[in-house]
A and B are shown apart, each in its own frame.
Chain A
C-alpha cells in the first residue's frame, strides 16, 4: 500500500505541472496536442431526431493515457463505436497517424493498430481462455484457408503465439484459468481476459470501454498497473471510465463529454476542479482529496463505532 501512496503523490505533482508532452496544452475543449495519434473532426451521429454525438474537434496525445469521462448517455460508447468503425457517423472525418479511417471496416481499423474492448464484455464463451488469447494474434498463417489443413505450415507460429498468450495470461493473473471455457469466468475476469486479448494484437492505440466495471479492488490495482505499463511500452491508451479514482490515478489527460459534445478537457486535477464538470458529472459532493487510505481509515472508524454500539447493547 505504501508504494501505492508514493505513486499517488507523484501523480498529484504531475497533475499540477502537467504531464510530459502535454505541458502547456490549452484546456479548451478540442485542444490541439503536440503529437496527436488520433484526430477527429466534426463527428456527428444522429439516431432519428436525437444527436448522440456531435464532436467538433478531438485529439489524443501519442504515448499518453487519456480518459474519456461523462454522465451516462453522454455518447462516450457511441463515440468509441464511431472511431473504431463499428458504427458510421452521419458526417465527419477522423484519422489515425494521419491515415483516414472514414468508412473503414472495423477489422481494418484494428489491423492499423487501434484495438478496442467493449463495455459489455465480448469473450468467446465456448472457447477456452487460451483459445480466446490465441485468436487475438495477428498475421497468423494458419488462418488462411489453404494453409489451415497442414499443421506443418502453422504449428511453429502457433507455439510462439501460445508462449506470448501464456505470458500475458500470467500478467493478468488468468494463467490458472488457461484451459477453462471463457464462459465460466466471472464478470471481472472477463474484463481482464478481454484486455489481455486485445494486447495480443500488439496495438498502438488501446481503447478500453469501462475496464474497471465489476472488477474487485485488489484486481483493480493490478489492472491500473497494466494500463500504466502499456504507456511505458510506448502505447497510447484511451479509456472510458466512471471510476474517478482510476481516472485520477493513471490518466495524463481527461476529456469530458456531455450530451454528445466535448465540454472540457485538461489534466485530471484541473478537470476535476472545473465547476462545469462538477455540475454536469461529478456532483457537488465528490471529494477529490479523499484518498483510499482516508477511506479505509473512515471505514475502520465506522466499524469501530458499530462494534462499540453492539458491545454496549
Chain B
C-alpha cells in the first residue's frame, strides 16, 4: 500500500477547489445555522442561482462578464427575500422544508427541457469564464513536492482561498459586533429578543441574505473554476456535504466551517484512495468482503459513522466550545 499516494490524493482535495466551494457554502450555513439558528437545507439553491446568474447573463443574454458577476451577487439576495418573507415569521422547521423544496425546484427548472433555451437543460451552460481565465497572472503551475497544481488550478486556488479569507474576516467582524450578538440571541430565544425591542424578523432576513450570499459565492466559484454550470452539481447532496463540513469543524466558530471543509475533503479523498488500494485483485481485502465498486463507496459509510461518533462524543465539533454545549438549556 502506498501511503504517500493516499496522502497526496487527500491533500490535493483538501487544498483544492472542492474544499473552497464547500468552505464558502459552510461559512454561509454557519451564519444561518451556527449563529442565527436558521435551518437552511437549501444552500445548494443559493449556490445555483448565483452560478446561473453569471452563466445566464453572459451566455444567454450576451451581457458583459462584470454584469454577470453583479447578477450573481444579487440573485442569492433575491432568493433569500423570496424564501424569507413567508417563512421567517414561522417556526424554524418551516424554513427547512421550504428551502430544501426551493433548491430542488430551482435545480429542476434549470435542468428542464422546456427551459433549455435559457438554462441549457441538463448539459448546462459554458463559455462564460473567459475573462476569469484570461486574468490568470501565473505563467506555470506549482509543485510543492507532495502536491502539484496546474497553472489554471493555481489561479482558481488563489482567488478561492482569498475569497474564503475575506469571508472569514467579514463574519468575524460581524459576529463580534452588537449585530452578531442579536443574531446569537435569536438563536437562543426569539421571544426574549423581541421583548427587548429588537426586530427579530429583520435580523433573520439579514442573516438569511448574508449566509445565502456567502453560499452563492461558493456556487459562483465552482462555476468559474469549471467554466461551466451543470444542474446536477447543485443537488441536495451539496447542501448536506456543506452541513457535514460545518459540523465537523464546529458551528458558531469563524474558522469552523473552513477547517471542516478541508478536513471533509481530506477524509473523502484519503479514504477513497485507501480503499481503492486495499480492495480488488491486488489489495489485502479479499473480494468476498469488498469488491472494487464497493470500495469506492465505503468511504461515505465511514465518514457518516465518523460524523455520528463526533455528534455523540464531541457535539461542538473540532473547534467548538465545550462549555457552550454542556449547558442544559431548559
Interface residues of A (CB under 8 A from B): 84, 86, 105-108, 110-111, 115-118, 122-127, 131, 134-136, 138, 140-145, 147-151, 154, 158, 181, 183-184, 194, 197-198, 200-201
Closest B-chain residue to A86, C-beta based?
B191
Closest B-chain residue to A112, C-beta based?
B197
Whether the Cβ atoms of A110 and B188 lie closer than 8 Å is no
With both chains docked as a complex, state the minimum distance between the C-beta of A158 and any C-beta of chain B, in angstroms. 7
- In the complex, 22 of the A-B residue pairs with CB atoms within 8 angstroms, ordered by the A residue number, are A105-B194, A110-B194, A110-B195, A110-B196, A118-B195, A122-B195, A123-B189, A125-B327, A126-B324, A135-B185, A135-B196, A141-B178, A142-B177, A143-B178, A148-B177, A148-B178, A149-B173, A149-B177, A183-B328, A194-B192, A197-B196, A200-B196
A232 to B152, CA, bound (A): 72
A106 to B89, CA, bound (A): 13
Q: Does B79 count as interface, using CB distance less than 8 angstroms?
A: no
Closest A-chain residue to B252, C-beta based?
A126
Range of interface residues on B (Cβ < 8 Å): 20 to 34
Whether the Cβ atoms of B184 and A138 lie closer than 8 Å is no
A149 to B170, CA, bound (A): 7
A117 to B196, CA, bound (A): 9
- CB within 8 Å for A115 and B196 given contacts A127-B185, A149-B173, A181-B324: yes
With both chains docked as a complex, state the minimum distance between the C-beta of B199 and any C-beta of chain A, in angstroms. 5
Residues in A whose Cβ lies below 8 Å from that of B327? 125-126, 181, 183-184
A136 to B185, CA, bound (A): 11
With both chains docked as a complex, state the minimum distance between the C-beta of A82 and any C-beta of chain B, in angstroms. 14
Task: Please report the number of residue pairs spanning A and B whose Cβ atoms sit closer than 8 angstroms.
Answer: 116
Which has the most chain A C-beta neighbours within 10 Å: B174, B187, B192, B206?
Answer: B192
Whether the Cβ atoms of A149 and B192 lie closer than 8 Å is no
With both chains docked as a complex, state the minimum distance between the C-beta of A160 and any C-beta of chain B, in angstroms. 12
Which has the most chain A C-beta neighbours within 10 Å: B191, B194, B199?
Answer: B194
Whether the Cβ atoms of B195 and A115 lie closer than 8 Å is yes
Select A107's contact among B184, B188, B198, B206, beta carbons within 8 Å: B198
Whether the Cβ atoms of B197 and A201 lie closer than 8 Å is yes
Whether the Cβ atoms of B188 and A148 lie closer than 8 Å is no
Q: Does B329 count as interface, using CB distance less than 8 angstroms?
A: yes
Whether the Cβ atoms of A125 and B195 lie closer than 8 Å is no
Q: What 6 additional pairs, Cβ within 8 angstroms, besides A106-B194, A135-B193, A145-B179?
A: A147-B177, A149-B177, A150-B173, A154-B177, A183-B327, A200-B196
With both chains docked as a complex, state the minimum distance between the C-beta of A85 and any C-beta of chain B, in angstroms. 8
With both chains docked as a complex, state the minimum distance between the C-beta of A209 and any C-beta of chain B, in angstroms. 11
